[in-house]
Structures are given as structure tokens and as C-alpha cells.
Chain A
Amino acid sequence: SQKIEQNSEALNIQEGKTATLTCNYTNYSPAYLQWYRQDPGRGPVFLLLIRENEKEKRKERLKVTFDTTLKQSLFHITASQPADSATYLCALLINDYKLSFGAGTTVTVRA
């Protein structure tokens, strides 16, 4: 069966450090992978998309890598700030234009 797994439920880090989140998938061959941010009681907000032929994508302090051999994406938040505290979700497109999500990793950045 198809699975999307995010390595840890929670990640606590000190302000200024880099947070690294992992998304692993099985039985998919996605053309691309997306990352979203979700704050408590709110809907997810799109952050980044990376295509299968891209190794790395950056947006401000965010960096995403995509290794189709390992079936893994890494999501990095550099120079983290308390405002980065949220749940981060990875998502893959499955058939019929539908997105399937991982369970998310909740990041808490301590001041």
C-alpha cells in the first residue's frame, strides 16, 4: 500500500538553529512533492514544491531536497525563529488530481 511517513511527530529546537524534517514515501512515483505549513486550528498553507528532476529548492530560509532513489524529501528551516513554530506537512499527488498528506511534524522553536 502507499504510505507517506514523516519521521517524527515533534521537533523542539533552539532559536537560530536549523530544523530538519524528513518525509519518506513508499509505493509512489511522484512527479513532484509539496510542503505545507499548518498552524493550530487553521488550514494548511503552501510553502514549496519540488519536482522529481530537481535535487534542491530554496525559498528564503527554507530548503527542500528530493531524492527519488531513496524516496525521501528533507525540509530544512535555517536560522529558525519562534514564528516558525507550526506543523509542517509533506504531500504527494496521487491519481485524479488528489493530494495525499503525511501526518506532519510539529516544530517548536524556543527563544
Chain B
Amino acid sequence: GAVVSQHPSWVICKSGTSVKIECRSLDFQATTMFWYRQFPKQSLMLMATSNEGSKATYEQGVEKDKFLINHASLTLSTLTVTSAHPEDSSFYICSAWGTGQRIILNSPLHFGNGTRLTVT
């Protein structure tokens, strides 16, 4: 149980275009999902918390107008990288607490398999 699916697994786009990444909870409902970014040999850095039916909460230094997050249903959150530039090239990973709407703080976080974004 508690499977998180992320799509696409990789994408190459031209500078200035926008890219949408989908994150789905397959067998549970998630009111809250998290988006992380990971550069090579670095830690996962939390970008934002996606809340179903309300605005996302962004971490300090993350541009909300550049990284648009939509969490329109209990099983789907999307991250859109707008006007992408080469420095946005990274590994983007979504996650959710597998306990669904009721977050149990000592439960594990379930991750998607990530999306490798390359901006040329």
C-alpha cells in the first residue's frame, strides 16, 4: 500500500517553456503532499507543501510564481515549472504521508520515483 506515482520520469524542454509534473497517490488519499528538489550529490530540499483545496506553502527562497503547484483532488498534485531555465534542471520528487488525511507523525513518508528535468 501507500504507492505514490510520479509522471513523467524524465523530461527535456527548451529554455523558456513550461513543464508540468504530476504526482498521484494510487491507493490512498493525501490531503498534503510535498515537493522536493535534489541536485546531484546533494540532499533533498523541500520546495513546497501542497494542500488539497488550498494554496501551497512555499519554503523560503522558492519562487511561487515560477513553481506553480495545484492540488485539486485528494489524489493528485501537480508542479509546473514555468519559463524554465537551465538552472532549473534538477531531480524533482513528490511525497506524501501514507496515512492519508490523518497524518501520523511517526509514519514514513512515501515518495514518487522522481522526475529528471533537463532544460536546454
Contact = CB atoms under 8 A, between A and B. Distances in A.
Interface residues of B, number: 26
A104 to B, nearest CB: 7
B113 A42 contact: yes
Contact of A98 (B46, B110, B114, B116): B46
B95 interface: yes
Interface string A81-111: 0000000010101001111111110000000
Contacts, number: 58
A45 interface: yes
A2 to B, nearest CB: 12
Interface string A41-57: 11111100101000000
A100 B46 contact: yes
A91 B109 CA distance: 10
Nearest to A4: B43
B67 interface: no
A102 B43 contact: yes
B103 interface: yes
